[in-house]
Amino acid sequence: MNFSSISLPLKKLTMIKDYIIPAQTRIGHVHLKVSNIERSLEFYRDLLGFELTAMYGTQAAFISAGGYHHHIGLNTWHSKEASPAPVDGVGLYHTAILYPTRKDLATIYKRLLKANYPLTGASDHGVSEALYLNDPDANGVELYWDRPKELWGYKPDGSLDMYTKGIDLENLLKEL
């Protein structure tokens, strides 16, 4: 079967209302189509500090934090030397990388400043604080930390009180 030719029907799917995904479920890894493996490794490994765990010939690299087999796969299988995807097209908005503490987020921010690497944004979302940037192929990257759950705000209807406000980057650096 040629899976690349499968398209989903444009009819509404029947939802099964009594199923909720298990709370322990996690996003295991993401594979990014990149145009140049070495350039991407310079960003993810050399700048952000991911460890290279494996190469798949010259077409793919697998990187991780803490020895996992891979959190991010970088491949050129269909994208070698390709141009970035258009901003107004469909696709992945960003890959979010969760740091354990606010101090860890401050550390990577200082590293980005030292490398003169540009941010595309920096936000306080109530539940988290985040830095936004693009990798060399214009794939969005969010670097963030979550506030402890007991500090999250809730609206009267019980939903999370999430928002987007500016983050005080000087205050973030005071964590160091």
- Write out pLDDT tens, residues 51-72: 999 999 999 999 999 999 999 9
Q: Look at residue 108 in the predicted model and tell me its pLDDT.
A: 98
**Interval 78-108: pLDDT, tens:** 999 999 999 899 989 999 999 999 999 999 9
| Whether this model's pTM surpasses 0.85 | yes
Q: Look at residue 19 in the predicted model and tell me its pLDDT.
A: 87
Q: Look at residue 7 in the predicted model and tell me its pLDDT.
A: 60
* Cβ atoms 100, 145 nearer than 8 A: yes
**Interval 16-54: pLDDT, tens:** 678 889 999 988 999 999 999 999 999 999 999 999 999
- Average confidence score pLDDT of the chain: 93
